[in-house]
Chain A
Amino acid sequence: MNEKTQIQDIDRSLYDFRFDEDEGDFLDNGITPEIISEISDEKNDPDWMREFRQRSLEIYRRTPMVKWGASIEGLDVDNIVTYIRPKTRMNTDWEDVPENIKETFERLGIPQAERESLAGVGAQYDSELVYHNVREEVAQSGVVYTDLESAMHDPKYAEIIKSHFMKLVPPTDHKFAALHGAVWSGGSFVYVPKNVRLDIPLQSYFRLNAKGAGQFEHTLIILEEGSYLHFIEGCSAPKYYEAGLHAGCVELYVGKGASLRYSTIENWSKNMYNLNTKRALVEEGGKIEWVSGSFGSHVSYLYPMSILNGENASAEFTGITFAGEGQDLDTGAKIVHNAPNTSSYMNTKSLSKSGGKSTFRSSVVVNQNAEGSKSSVNCESLMLDSISRSDTVPSIVVKTDKCDVGHEAKIGRISDEAIFYLTSRGLSEEEARALIVRGFADNVSKELPLEYAVEMNNLIGLEMHGSVG
């Protein structure tokens, strides 16, 4: 009972705290070849990576800004400090993590979560991995879970990283992919060998600190034939006065008959520009499942893409986006059916309130070689007031005849009858609305592990607070 009250009374400040900036030297604000070189020096990049970064910078400079979606006028990329190095180096033992950093994580509940059941923690504090630990049983199964930078130097993984890094999301993909290629820093590398099924989820919990910091972490996950993994990416960042940029990149390779579930609850502070690129390549009979909750950020562009590249490959996307005051969240998913008998299923919900704007944007492309494929998209939007906006912009491109593609979308409001019913049972109007919104979001919450579902419900509670009148 006591605990329940605590959850209900949870304070927004839990997600907004931060410590003073003392994490070491800033580089110059702008991005020049010299800065990129400095990053390479600092990280002791292998030659191919040095070249890769410089080439990406070139591409970045000549690539025009993206033309659709939310406005990113407030973002001055040249003034964003792209690289902040915390004073601590990699730690494998929790005891060695500096006190203030540790406290931050502790308030975010990471060690507890780990103690409870999580397999490993790769928590990124600003740009570097500060704490990293994989439980022994996970390591024994042959699963590699480490930070990408050190893996790159390990002869065991160097080649596989070189042959996969930004091959799925090339720097030419869009401007921020190019930026990412030039300045990426930190992130996770996961390798699951053939037929290994990891029953406990792996988790990476990273957050931004320090003013004006950009976060460019790179996640590379490779699943060999017949393997299974659930990876949870959670983000939470404190509040800043300057705009912050997050341009991470996630590349997922799902082998034959392998299955990957990738869950994210994103709660960046509400001045962040979240321009993340996520992509999965799925081979024959493989499966990718995305579970995605977008709550934070000032502006988001987020469309995880699944390329179904082998016969009978499948993709599922379950998402929720909650846009509140001052937020412009442009989210959705992309699916490419590129082999026969592939299937995709998309189910998304979005909410807009207090002047927030949410856009659901998707594309389903069924190529000519994808005969026998099936796709079903279902999106639902809820408007909580009349000063907000909710747009739905799906696209379907079909280049074959033998397929079955369906799409459904709805937009509406909370009915007065539902509110009346619940208030007649003793709930306050605010409670009633929060309850209905939680129910609306259950497509995502029921796909999440319990502790994350609880956190998401808390976030909804926070967002709904003061939503009446």
Chain B
Amino acid sequence: MENTKLNILPVPTFGSLGVNFVRRDIEEYETNNKLLDIDNNTLIREDITGSSDYKINVKNNADAIVVQYVKVDGKALVDTQIKAEAGTRLKLVQIFDGSVQTVSRLNATLEDNASLELVLLVLGGNDTVCETVAALDGRCSSFKADIGYTLGSGDNLDINLIADHNGRKTDSQILVNGVLDGNASKTFKGTIDFKNGSAGSKGAEQENVLVLDEKAVNKTVPVILCAEEDVEGSHGATIGRIDDKQAFYMRSRGFDEQKLYELLARARLKQVIGAIGERQTESRIYKALDWGDYDEQE
């Protein structure tokens, strides 16, 4: 499919900003189909090196972790569909480690009391397009996303994350921490959509972007759509560098300008990596980031 529209913002805004959608060629690659039926407390690690199509069904009150570590040499399309049955818990960890061109589409449907925790990390990559739609259909279902990215020169990232609050008393929490260096360019679109009937629901999103180079381009579009009175929604964003007072405080403790931002950048990513809570993967990411010995970190 050539020139396919992806990452479509649920409500279009001013066209000149260039955030309404992206276009990519999605070719029909040889796809690795995988069905994961999860019915117990388990940990599954998947190394993804090419186009893949995952169907993950979580059942039987399972409490599981699935790690998708995506490191692809060429172009790839990664589709993931999750069906979380009532009362199940799934933590999905998606790592995109310096891909050439990756399009990822994640679709999750959550039944009553089901919970999905997504940890999404983008470590560089020329062109990464991630779309995540979590349909909170069931009563008291919840979605938590911890997203981190570190991008340098030549890197591009477009994320479109949508939390559809359909059921009553549903909950979404989205935290995005990112670092942009060189001429990196990034768009994060996060939508919390309170559908009519989602009474008692809550949604919150926050993005913090540390911009380290004047050539970097950051686009942040935090959308809240609301058709229900009894909900609480909030979003926030901070973009740029830390303020002068914070900078002086840190410098008075011995950090020069570069060290100071190195530490901040690392701390922001660590916060997201820490949400993985799985030693082997965390250690692998430390290695990919060239951060030194995992056991010597806080």
Contact = CB atoms under 8 A, between A and B. Distances in A.
CB–CB under 8 A between A and B in the complex? Answer: yes
Interface string A388-409: 1111111111111111111111
A397 B237 CA distance: 12
A211 interface: no
B151 to A, nearest CB: 13
B240 A405 contact: yes
B296 to A, nearest CB: 30
B237 A405 contact: yes
Interface string A69-108: 0000000000000000000000000000000000000000
Contact of A363 (B13, B196, B217): B13
B223 A402 contact: no
B11 A391 contact: yes
Contacts of A412: 231-233
A379 B13 CA distance: 17
Interface stretch (B69-77, B99-107, B208-216, B282-290): B208-216
* Residue among B17, B215, B228, B240 facing the most chain A CB atoms (10 A cut-off): B240
A390 B212 CA distance: 35
Nearest to A381: B226
A448 B196 CA distance: 36
Nearest to A383: B229
Given A371-B214, A404-B243, A397 B232 contact: no
Interface in A361-381: 361, 363, 365, 368, 371, 381
Interface size band for B: 35 or more
Given A401-B240, A403-B240, A403-B241, A395 B221 contact: yes
Nearest to A409: B235
Interface in A324-350: 334
Interface string B180-219: 0000000000000010100100000000010111111111
Interface string A256-294: 000000000000000000000000000000000000000
A391 B236 CA distance: 15
A393 B232 contact: no
B214 A368 contact: yes
Given A67-B12, A386-B228, A389-B227, A400 B237 contact: no
A395 B219 contact: yes
A411 B14 contact: no
A384 interface: yes
B145 interface: no
Contact of B233 (A361, A385, A399, A411): A411
Contacts of A68: 11-15
A334 B14 CA distance: 10
Contacts of A392: 222-226, 235
A406 B238 contact: yes
A395 B238 CA distance: 13
Given A68-B12, A389-B226, A395 B220 contact: yes
Contact of B229 (A386, A393, A401): A386
A410 interface: yes
B155 to A, nearest CB: 15
A386 B232 contact: no
Nearest to B242: A404
B230 A386 contact: yes
B230 A404 contact: no
A277 B12 CA distance: 19
Nearest to B220: A396
A315 B289 CA distance: 41
B241 A404 contact: yes
B121 interface: no
Chain A CB within 10 A, most for which of B11, B224, B235, B243: B224
Contact of A397 (B196, B218, B226): B218
A388 B194 CA distance: 12
Given A398-B239, A406-B238, A411 B221 contact: no
A363 B14 contact: yes
A62 interface: no
Contacts of B223: 391-394
A48 to B, nearest CB: 28
Contact of B220 (A402, A407, A413): A407
Given A395-B19, A402-B241, 19 more contacts: A68-B12, A68-B13, A363-B13, A384-B229, A389-B227, A391-B11, A391-B225, A392-B226, A393-B11, A394-B222, A395-B17, A396-B221, A401-B211, A402-B240, A405-B240, A406-B239, A407-B236, A408-B234, A411-B194
Interface of B: 11-15, 17, 19, 194, 196, 199, 209, 211-241, 243
13 contacts: A386-B228, A391-B11, A392-B222, A392-B223, A392-B226, A397-B19, A399-B218, A401-B211, A404-B239, A406-B236, A406-B237, A411-B233, A413-B229
Nearest 4 A/B pairs, CB to CB: A405-B239, A407-B237, A411-B233, A403-B240
Interface of A: 67-68, 334, 359, 361, 363, 365, 368, 371, 381, 383-386, 388-413
